[in-house]
């Protein structure tokens, strides 16, 4: 593609033979236009499709990168949630086991308390069947004959009272232990309920995370398909553009040959005319023969540059004037319109033969116009409005791509303006 531009491609379409006259050029050009229109039905403005496909491809790549990050994040959160779910199941199982054990201990404590209550009742009944311990102890004191009898009576009384006291203490301890176990059971129940509520909430979160991961995976799959489609479209558009450039090279060579012949003829006519009447101009290096073709600054001069749409390095065979959309285009010098047609590369295009100037045959070419106001075969005067600035063909915005041909070869317009 770059090589095609380096040799100064001028239009789209293949021409079979050199042009002998403006009429031949017109006939051939119409044939080329028919070929272009036929190709457009299949390619549908391949250059525009190429730009759109590249944009879609870049967007798909950017979105795919983000979607892959989102998928990885979602999958990571699901993995963490699954691990936490397993831990919560263990915690719930432990809590339920603790509740079961606490309930069993409560049952045991209840049985122990009932047993102790029966033991206290039996002990008290046994003691009081023998009489009131206090009265028996007092009677024993009265019956005591010696200090030893008194000591034995007191010890017997203490034994009876201690037995009763121990029975009551054991019953109290059983009741306290039973209350503790009741509290343990309630706490275990609350723990199980909390774990179950936490597990239910976590299950909802797990379902949402898994849904997010599934959505992210679907997004990645869709974007992969979008990228593949964009790549295929970009490849097809690139192939179509390469074909257009190859054909443009062929037609450019044909037009250059025509202009070389017309330039040679103009020079022969100029040499046949008296030197005083010959049209003269400055050398190509000093400039000044051509008038500005449009109002506005030169935004991209003649020379090698990076293509603004496709990004390759190639020859820019003219000067771009940054003129507003719809502003006038002016004839840069007197001449004859030898061709006006539409090209998928250069858009609406016009070629004017300006005759002999500064020892060369000169022609000027106007590209990307929205339309022209003059037609093939028409004579134009310097400064005459010949059309209006546009953005047709391969263009990133309204401007005039102005090409100057000297003896059929593109030269720097700055040396002639």
In the prediction, which pLDDT does 266 show?
72
Question: What is the Rg, in whole angstroms, of the alpha carbon atoms belonging to the chain?
Answer: 53
> Which of the residues in the chain have pLDDT under 50?
1-20, 274-286
Task: Tell me, yes or no, whether 50 lies in a domain.
Answer: no
Residue 321: inside a domain, yes or no? yes
User: What DSSP line would sit under 50-68, residue for residue?
Assistant: HHHHHHHHHHHHHHHHHHH
Domain extent at residue 187? 68-218
- Domain end call among 167, 200, 218: 218
149 alpha-carbon distance from chain centroid: 108
Q: How far apart are CA 199 and CA 193, in angstroms?
A: 10
C-alpha dist (Å) from residue 58 to 37, 64, 288, 304, 338 = 30, 10, 46, 26, 43
In whole angstroms, give the CA distance from residue 298 to residue 134: 130
Determine the pLDDT at residue 283.
34
Per the domain annotation, does 63 fall within a domain? no
Of 87, 122, 120, 32, which Cα lies nearest the Cα of 346?
A: 32
CATH number reported for the structural domain that contains residue 74 in this entry: 1.10.287.1700
pLDDT of residue 35: 67
Query: In three state form, how does the secondary structure of 115-168 look?
Result: HHHHHHHHHHHHHHHCCCHHHHHHHHHHHCCCHHHHHHHHHHHHHHHHHHHHHH
Q: Tell me the C-alpha distance between 366 and 412, whole Å.
A: 14
User: Residues 12, 100: one domain?
Assistant: no
273: number of Cβ within 10 Å: 11
Crossing angle of the two packed helices 133-143 and 147-272, in degrees rounded to 10:
140
Give the Å distances, CA to CA, from 109 to 103, 165, 185, 188, 296. 10, 21, 12, 16, 103
Residue 123 bridge partners (DSSP): none
Q: Which residue has the tokens 């403005």?
A: 45
Residue 159 lies in a domain: yes
Question: Is this structure's pTM higher than 0.85?
Answer: no
294 and 358 housed in the same domain: yes
Residue 82 sits in the same domain as residue 175: yes
In a domain, 369, yes or no: yes
Per-residue DSSP letters for 208-234? HHHHHHHHHHHHHHHHHHHHHHHHHHH
Residue 7 lies in a domain: yes
266 shares its domain with 399: yes
Place of tokens 């723990």: 191
Task: Give the number of other CB atoms < 10 A from CB of residue 200.
Answer: 10
Residue 17 within a domain: yes
Q: Is residue 61 part of a domain?
A: no
Whether 72 and 210 share a structural domain? yes
The reply to whether 334 and 196 lie within a common domain is no
Domain count, the chain: 2
pLDDT in tens, 337-378: 999 999 888 999 999 999 998 889 999 999 999 999 999 999
């Amino acid at each position: 593609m770059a090589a095609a531009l380096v040799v100064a491609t001028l239009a789209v379409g293949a021409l079979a033979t050199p042009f002998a006259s403006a009429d031949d050029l017109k006939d051939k050009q119409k044939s080329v236009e028919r070929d272009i229109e036929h190709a457009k039905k299949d390619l549908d403005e391949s250059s525009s499709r190429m730009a759109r496909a590249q944009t879609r491809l870049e967007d798909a790549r950017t979105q795919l990168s983000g979607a892959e990050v989102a998928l990885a994040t979602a999958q990571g959160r699901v993995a963490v949630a699954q691990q936490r779910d397993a831990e919560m199941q263990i915690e719930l199982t432990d809590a339920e086991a603790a509740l079961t054990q606490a309930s069993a201990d409560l049952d045991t404590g209840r049985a122990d308390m009932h047993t102790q209550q029966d033991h206290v009742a039996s002990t008290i009944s046994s003691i009081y069947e023998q009489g009131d311990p206090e009265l028996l102890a007092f009677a024993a004191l009265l019956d005591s004959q010696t200090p030893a009898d008194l000591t034995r009576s007191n010890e017997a009384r203490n034994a009876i009272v201690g037995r009763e006291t121990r029975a009551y203490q054991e019953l109290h301890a059983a009741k306290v232990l039973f209350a503790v176990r009741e509290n343990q059971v309630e706490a275990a129940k609350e723990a199980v309920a909390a774990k179950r509520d936490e597990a239910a909430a976590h299950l909802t979160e797990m379902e949402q995370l898994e849904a997010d991961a599934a959505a992210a995976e679907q997004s990645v799959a869709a974007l992969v398909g979008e990228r593949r489609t964009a790549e295929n479209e970009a490849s097809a558009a690139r192939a179509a553009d390469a074909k257009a450039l190859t054909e443009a090279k062929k037609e450019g060579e044909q037009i250059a040959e025509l202009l070389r012949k017309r330039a040679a003829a103009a020079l022969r006519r100029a040499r046949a005319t008296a030197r005083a009447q010959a049209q003269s101009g400055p050398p190509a290096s000093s400039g000044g023969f051509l008038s500005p073709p449009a109002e506005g600054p030169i935004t991209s001069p003649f020379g090698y540059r990076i293509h603004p749409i496709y990004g390759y390095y190639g020859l820019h065979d003219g000067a771009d004037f940054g003129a507003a959309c719809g502003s006038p285009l002016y004839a840069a010098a007197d001449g004859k319109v030898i061709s006006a047609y539409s090209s998928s590369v250069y858009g609406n295009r016009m070629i004017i033969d300006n005759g002999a100037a500064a020892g060369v045959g000169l022609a000027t070419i106007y590209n990307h116009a929205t339309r022209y106001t003059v037609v093939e075969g028409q004579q134009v005067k310097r400064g005459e409005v010949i059309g209006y600035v546009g953005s047709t063909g391969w263009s990133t915005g309204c401007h005039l791509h102005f090409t100057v041909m000297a003896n059929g070869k593109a030269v720097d317009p700055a040396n002639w303006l």
